[in-house]
Amino acid sequence: MSGPFRISGAGRLDPERKAKFTFDQKPFTGIEGDTLASALLANGVHLMGRSFKYHRPRGVLSAGAEEPNALVTVARDDARKTPNVRATVQEVYEGLDATSQNRWPSLAFDVGQVNDMASPMFSAGFYYKTFMWPKAAWKHLYEPNIRAAAGLGVAPDKPDPDHYSSRFSHCEVLVIGGGAAGIAAALAAAQTGVRVVLCDEQPTFGGSLRFEMGAEISGEDAYFWAQETVEKLRAMDNVTLLNRTTAFGYYAQNFVGLVERVTDHMAAPGDLPRERLWQVRARRVVLATGAIERHMVFGDNDRPGVMLASAARTYLNYYGVAVGRNVGVFTSNDSAYAAAIDLKKVGVNIAALVDLRDNPSGPLVEQARALGIEVNHGRAVVSTAGRLRISSMTIQAKSGGGERMIPVDALLMSGGWTPSVHLFSQSRGKLSFDAATHRFLPGATAQACVSVGACAGSDDLGTAVAEALKAGEKAARDAGGKGEVSARIRVSASEGWSGGMLGTGPAGEGSTRKAFVDFQNDVTAKDIRLAVREGMHSIEHVKRFTTNGMATDQGKTSNMHGLAIAAEALGKPIPEVGLTTFRPPYTPVTFGAIVNHARHALFDPTRRTPIHPWAEAQGAVFEDVGQWKRAWYYPKAGEDMHAAVNRECVTVRKSAGLFDASTLGKIEVVGPDAAKFMELLYTNPWEKLEPGRCRYGIMLREDGFIYDDGVVGRLAPDRFHVTTTTGGAARVMNHMEDYLQTEFPQLNVWLTSISEQWAVIAVQGPKSRDIIAPLVEGIDMSDAALPHMSVREGKICGVPTRLFRMSFTGDRGFEVNVPSDYGQAVWEALWAEGQKHGACAYGTESMHVLRAEKGYIIVGQDTDGTVTPDDAGLDWAVGKKKADFVGIRGMKRPDLVDKGRRQLVGLRTKDPKVVLEEGAQIVADPKQPIPMKMIGHVTSSYWSENCGRSIALALVAGGRDRIGQTLYVPMPSGTIEVEVTGMVFFDETGGRLNG
Amino acid sequence: MASTAQAERRPKLAGRETRHGALRVAMLPPAERMSLRAPAASVAALASALKIRLPNAPRQSAKSGQRTSLWLGPDEWLILDEGGGDPLADCRSVTAVHSAAGISHRNVAIEVSGPGAAACLNSGCPRDLSLAAFPVGACSRTLLGKVEIIIYRTAEDNFRVECWRSFSDYVFEFLSVAAKDVAG
Amino acid sequence: MLLIRCPYCEEDRPELEFRNAGEAHIARSANIAGESDEAFETFFFIRSNPKGLHYERWRHVHGCARFFNAVRDTVSDKFLMTYKAGEAKPDAETLKTLGASAAWTNLSTEHLGGRRPARGKGDTE
């Protein structure tokens, strides 16, 4: 036998399929299909954890996802350590390694338990009130220590080696919950022929049929009916069955998030994803989420061995485990009788059944009495005893009087059932308080969903199945299902009960014992009353003050009790106090499932140019520019970045350099109105630009500030080749489309992104023409035929090219555009030519230095979204005669034409060796008191080997009027003196463009 | 002047393929591609010059020999030619207002084929790819994970996925990982 | 994730394919250069930001790439309707007639076959 408490012949697992596992390093044997909780109970282990705040010994409360107590850490290896796993959910597998949490040095002897004895100190609000002063101590002293003492498991400190997968799924009907109602709804829906998804959080479908032995369908055990029907569904092409799958979030328009646990139950997961995230869009959702039993709130109701009656029944009837040998029962409704009866039938002694009701009656009560179970009505359990396991319960008449102590080794309780309306509430449906049954039920819907079965308040199987069939068919029909529904389900016997109680039993108020409402956060009935006394009158405030319902179980068992106690203390009816809001996730979801594929190479696309492999082979160092990898510099052996950049910059101006400019954004603007459109989107005039010529264009936003810039070539009267900054490519395209589609839709012009159609090789420097010319066909390369700022189409290395004569260095330069697949081969051919002339490859850093030597701006570095063309010294690029372009009005706003605006200027440090820091602030008077008046900042700053000194660009208030003045850059290490200059540091006459 | 041999064409990820059971993710060979933009009035002339129908309804495509036209927007088509034809050249003589831009090298194509091809795409594509919603011949621009793609269903279990060249590392990897999960 | 009906693609498409583009029906003057400071301020800076019906622009950027207009309720986050750029702004009367057809999700409990329990005071959301 796998444990002394395993009952032969009971349960639905195969006792031959054993699985060995350890709990706190101690070896145990379970059965495949066991949860960790059932396997431990089979071995007589009830103590599974310590509570959060008081470190009280705790056992399992439940047999499902609502478990607040039995949280353990499951470890496969160092990196695969999952904390806060519910022992009632974790399936046992061969080699499972589980460890208890929140105890030191051991589960049975935990030093932290002193908190329990000092508990009068730790009432609700204790932390808020006590650790107020001194303020600084909170962050460094109080919080870290409190967190260390009160806590759950420890997160692993290694990267998660598992992988996770995802699936977007569409269906007509999504059925959440695979109990009798869910199965019936899915069957009816599926028979109409529509796509149906049925999910359930348990490994096996059946819901409460897994333990309700009194349920029969067509004369047989309803659980077998469930299995047969599920197999029928599995065979249907239009049905997706997802077991071990939790619907955790219900979002807008029937978008529901599911997590399928793929490998957490496997001894050898192999290469499977650990979890699969399903993002389901359903035309209709059928909620068949069932109900969760509530505990009873009484003194010391948290000792190991005290659990929900339905849990004990599940352990017996599904797992074949008796939770004790001498069991007490405390209830306020009929369902606990069924547990007592089932246990009694397999030979477990029922020490006493205590029913809070005065005159319980009905078949179950009769049956219990007939079996010889002592039924004490009108009485309550007022306390329990036992250190690491319950040893006795003490009962008393409701009216008071003598107490009687009854030895027990387990105590089952039932305060009634709470419909699981979590997902319905998440869907923004309204909950209605049903006064007759004291429960919140789904009311007005906000989305196309319908609740059936226990979650809708249907208390017996017959009703649940009948309404589920109807709702399933209706949902499918509404979503277009045409097929005939033949399913008929005859419920021949059924269990069903309603009623129960909310809040505490008698003798609750005055007792000094802890009567727990929320086990996981250690919230007692007293704490909730205290919260009300201290002025928390909204249930949302009570929740936050006491933390009731705020633990990882989100108050599945505690919310209704908390509400009832608060309502009682407030003297208001429950619906007037109201429920706290249900929010996703229903149960905790791993970060892995959410992050999913988006890790490593799939975290974000890494974009590489066609020339990237060459640069990589050359040992280039790359920098990230948005998603692009760009060659930053090409160090030779022994060179650091500084040396490499100096060499590259000098070589370009001495001979030539090759630069991979493929990442530039490129847009082909085509149509009879192309020039008109360009006139509207750029500040410059375009109508008169000759085909074959280029122009530097500036694009503004409507507010008059610079948005982007780039060289534009006119290929034909109706065709422009526009370049944008690398980072601006996508947004410039969007900006242009926006104006074209919505402001100027009358224009016959279209935009096509050609950024990746063309690889771009910039060849810059005095030898650039000599390098290119031998490879070019059909283009006259002479200065007369191909002057600076012109473009030609022809061939290079036998493939098509758009050859631009343009310069971003101030030296003679070209940009060779070739179709991307040819990019690397053409680069290699140019490189080979370049070698004959001593040319080098240069990266983005040298590109930046070379352009700064010439005072060419970089949008986004020298501008920041508040810089006008005039501020940047680019007023010449604004067409003065134009009647309209985007930004024409914005740039005339009073503030934008005001005196004293920050203008782009050059800075020369008095000490040429000092290189300013980009972003450094500039002041006129370094002796003024702090805070100083800052009049500008450095936007670009480099060491220029070509100039033999440092160079910088800066935005300075009234900058152009300050040329020649000395300003100051205060830095932590001292104040740097600078002289304001023009923006051009090299070849001021511009002769080198044709040099 | 040209003294060197023609530059070698080096298509991105050429020949790359992953298989998981019968589910296959494979790079397709280069093809001629053209982005065609035109108002309704020009469609007849362009269709005649290109010798292919230009569908005027969402998600529709047309095929003629080795040439395919995909509706991408109300005035936008992607013209594919896998047989060495040159759609840009075919349009050159058309005087009706239009824009034809060559994008043969901008895009690459990945074929996802075999049982579960749609589920494989649905690993990162939020669209309903059932045959009812997205029948054979349907095409659309959409997303795969963080990247824009064009999907074109050529058979029940066969999709052509087009993306920009530099996004192909991401798309190929994503589909390969997804294929593994779908194939089980 | 919302579903948004693209008036050009003529179907509901996932929100991921779209991008919001701010308030709709703000006309750019044909003579913008001649606008007063006040007129330009109103045009460029002032937005209605209503609680309730909002006319806004969206772009089906990862679909047909068209800009279009939508009426969305900023309280419920529901789209009442979408329409092509350049089409007239629907008035309040038109929107009223849309009712349940505007969004298939916005249907009554009864229509969906659900049971509505006796409503108590203080129903919560």
Nearest to C57 by CA among C68, C45, C46, C66: C68
- For chain C, the chains sharing at least 3 beta-carbon pairs closer than 8 angstroms are A, B
Q: CB–CB of A888 and C116 under 8 A?
A: no
Nearest to A37 by CA among A23, A26, A51, A24: A23
Q: How far is A891 from chain C (nearest CA, A)?
A: 10
Q: What is the mean pLDDT of residues A783-789?
A: 97
Q: How far is B1 from chain C (nearest CA, A)?
A: 44
C63/C59 Cα distance (integer angstroms) = 9
A33/A318 Cα distance (integer angstroms) = 10
Going along chain C from its start, the domains and CATH numbers come out as 3-98 (3.30.2270.10)
C-alpha dihedral, A136 to A137 to A139 to A144, nearest 10°: 170
Q: Is the pLDDT of residue A121 over 70?
A: no
Closest CA in chain B for residue C15: B126
Q: CB–CB of A432 and C118 under 8 A?
A: yes
Nearest to C54 by CA among C75, C83, C28: C75
Q: What is the mean pLDDT of residues A72-87?
A: 94
Q: Is the pLDDT of residue C114 over 50?
A: no
Q: What is the pLDDT of residue A506?
A: 67
Q: How far is A268 from chain B (nearest CA, A)?
A: 15
Q: How far is C14 from chain A (nearest CA, A)?
A: 10
Among B2, B106, B126, select the one facing A754 at the smallest CB separation: B106
Among C1, C16, C63, select the one facing B140 at the smallest CB separation: C63
Q: What is the pLDDT of residue C98?
A: 67
- Is B34 inside any structural domain? yes
What DSSP element (H or E) covers A36? helix A36-42
A354 and A331 Cβ atoms separated by less than 8 Å:
yes
C105 touches chain A (CB under 8 A): yes
For residue C45, how many other CB atoms are within 10 A of its CB?
A: 8
Q: CB–CB of A825 and B7 under 8 A?
A: yes
A219/A217 Cα distance (integer angstroms) = 5
Q: What is chain A's mean pLDDT, rounded?
A: 94
- Is B137 inside any structural domain? yes
The pLDDT tens digits for C35-56 are 999 999 999 999 999 998 999 9
A595-615 in b/e burial notation, b at 16+ Cβ within 10 A?
ebbeeeebeebbbbbbbbebb
Q: What is the pLDDT of residue C102?
A: 38
Q: CB–CB of C8 and B148 under 8 A?
A: no
The pLDDT tens digits for A206-219 are 999 999 998 999 88
Q: CB–CB of C2 and A445 under 8 A?
A: no
- Is B142 inside any structural domain? yes
Angle at A622 between CA A618 and CA A623, to 5 degrees: 165
State the first-to-last Cα distance of chain C, in angstroms, to the nearest integer.
20
Query: Which residues 76-135 of B have a C-beta within 8 angstroms of A?
Result: 97-107, 119, 122-128, 130, 133
What angle, rounded to 10 degrees, do the helices at A525-533 and A559-570 form?
40
Q: What is the pLDDT of residue A878?
A: 98
- Is B30 inside any structural domain? yes
- For chain A, the chains sharing at least 3 beta-carbon pairs closer than 8 angstroms are B, C
Closest CA in chain A for residue C123: A432
Q: How far is B158 from chain A (nearest CA, A)?
A: 18
DSSP A898: -
Probe site for chain B from C6, C10, C62, C84 (most B CB atoms < 10 A): C62
- Is B5 inside any structural domain? no
For CA atoms B117, B122, B127, B128, the dihedral sign is positive
A766/A655 Cα distance (integer angstroms) = 6
CA distances A206 to A182, A257, A802, Å, are: 9, 22, 69
CA distances A470 to A216, A339, A457, A822, Å, are: 20, 31, 16, 64
Q: CB–CB of A758 and B101 under 8 A?
A: no
A86/A72 Cα distance (integer angstroms) = 6
Q: Is the pLDDT of residue A131 over 70?
A: no
**CATH number of the structural domain spanning residue B91:** 3.30.1360.120
Q: What is the pLDDT of residue A800?
A: 97
Closest CA in chain B for residue C8: B74
Q: CB–CB of A756 and B165 under 8 A?
A: yes
Q: What is the pLDDT of residue A876?
A: 97
Among A170, A276, A795, select the one facing B128 at the smallest CB separation: A170
The pLDDT tens digits for A137-184 are 666 766 666 666 656 788 889 999 999 999 999 999 999 999 999 999
Helix, strand, coil shares of chain A as percentages rounded to 5?
Answer: 25, 30, 45
Strands (E), A730-798: 750-753, 758-764, 776-777, 790-796
A6/B77 Cα distance (integer angstroms) = 69
Residues on chain C touching B72 (C-beta within 8 angstroms)? 64-65
Q: What is the mean pLDDT of residues A388-400?
A: 94
Among A255, A457, A702, select the one facing C1 at the smallest CB separation: A255
| Bigger pLDDT: A123 vs A314 | A314
| Bigger pLDDT: A668 vs C100 | A668
Q: Is the pLDDT of residue A134 over 70?
A: no
B172 and B124 Cβ atoms separated by less than 8 Å:
no
CA distances A261 to A85, A96, A245, A593, B178, Å, are: 13, 16, 6, 10, 17
The pLDDT tens digits for A889-933 are 999 999 999 999 999 999 999 999 999 999 999 999 999 999 999
CA distances A647 to A838, A843, A846, Å, are: 12, 11, 9
Band of pLDDT at residue A68, cut at 50, 70 and 90: very high
Nearest to A553 by CA among A206, A52, A210: A52
Nearest to A715 by CA among B100, B35, B43, B76: B100
C5 and C82 Cβ atoms separated by less than 8 Å:
yes
Q: Is the pLDDT of residue B80 over 70?
A: yes
Probe site for chain A from B77, B92, B99 (most A CB atoms < 10 A): B99
Angle at C12 between CA C9 and CA C15, to 5 degrees: 105
A435/A441 Cα distance (integer angstroms) = 10
Q: Is the pLDDT of residue A508 over 60?
A: no
Q: How far is C56 from chain A (nearest CA, A)?
A: 13
Residue range(s) defining the domain that contains residue B101: 21-183
Probe site for chain B from C4, C64, C66 (most B CB atoms < 10 A): C64
The pLDDT tens digits for A229-241 are 999 999 999 999 9
Which residues make Cβ contacts (< 8 Å) with residue A971, sequence separation at least 6? Answer: A917, A920
Q: Taking phi first (over 0 means left), then psi (-120 to 50 degrees means alpha), and beta for anything else, what does residue B91 get?
A: alpha
Strand ranges of the sheet holding A750-753, from the earlier edge strand across to the other edge? A694-700, A706-716, A719-724, A665-670, A750-753
Q: How far is B111 from chain C (nearest CA, A)?
A: 20
A461/A465 Cα distance (integer angstroms) = 6
Q: How far is B178 from chain A (nearest CA, A)?
A: 7
Q: What is the pLDDT of residue A106?
A: 85
The pLDDT tens digits for A472-485 are 999 999 999 999 99
- Is B8 inside any structural domain? no
Got the DSSP string for A375-402? EEETEEEEEEE-SSS--EEEEEETT---
| Bigger pLDDT: A508 vs C27 | C27
| Cα atoms in the Cβ-side hemisphere of radius 13 Å centred on A950 | 22
- Is B169 inside any structural domain? yes
Q: Is the pLDDT of residue C96 over 80?
A: no
Among C10, C13, C65, select the one facing B73 at the smallest CB separation: C65
A867 and A900 Cβ atoms separated by less than 8 Å:
no
Q: What percent of chain A has pLDDT over 70?
A: 96
Band of pLDDT at residue B1, cut at 50, 70 and 90: very low
Band of pLDDT at residue C14, cut at 50, 70 and 90: very high
Among C33, C67, C103, select the one facing A883 at the smallest CB separation: C33
> Would you state the structure tokens that stand for residue C115, as one six-digit string?
């049971």
A874 and A862 Cβ atoms separated by less than 8 Å:
no
Q: CB–CB of C63 and B127 under 8 A?
A: no
Strands (E), A309-391: 326-331, 349-355, 375-377, 379-385
Nearest to B59 by CA among B133, B117, B168, B130: B133
A712 and A720 Cβ atoms separated by less than 8 Å:
yes
- Is B2 inside any structural domain? no
Q: What is the pLDDT of residue C100?
A: 42
ω into A972 cis (within 30 of 0)? no
For residue A398, how many other CB atoms are within 10 A of its CB?
A: 15
Q: Where are the alpha helices (DSSP H) in A808-843?
A: 823-836
Band of pLDDT at residue C111, cut at 50, 70 and 90: very low
A321: β partners: A6
A925/A938 Cα distance (integer angstroms) = 17
Q: How far is C103 from chain A (nearest CA, A)?
A: 9
B76 touches chain C (CB under 8 A): yes
**Please, which contacts does A641-645 make with residues 24 or more away whose CB atoms are closer than 8 Å?**
A641/A845, A642/A943, A645/A843, A645/A845, A645/A846, A645/A849, A645/A945
Band of pLDDT at residue A286, cut at 50, 70 and 90: very high
A362 and A372 Cβ atoms separated by less than 8 Å:
no
Q: CB–CB of C105 and A253 under 8 A?
A: yes
Band of pLDDT at residue A127, cut at 50, 70 and 90: low
A657: β partners: A764, A840
Q: CB–CB of A166 and B123 under 8 A?
A: yes
CB pairs under 8 A between B and C: 37
A802 and A819 Cβ atoms separated by less than 8 Å:
no
The alpha carbons of chain B give a radius of gyration, in whole angstroms, of 17
Domain count, chain B: 1
What angle, rounded to 10 degrees, do the helices at A844-853 and A641-654 form?
60
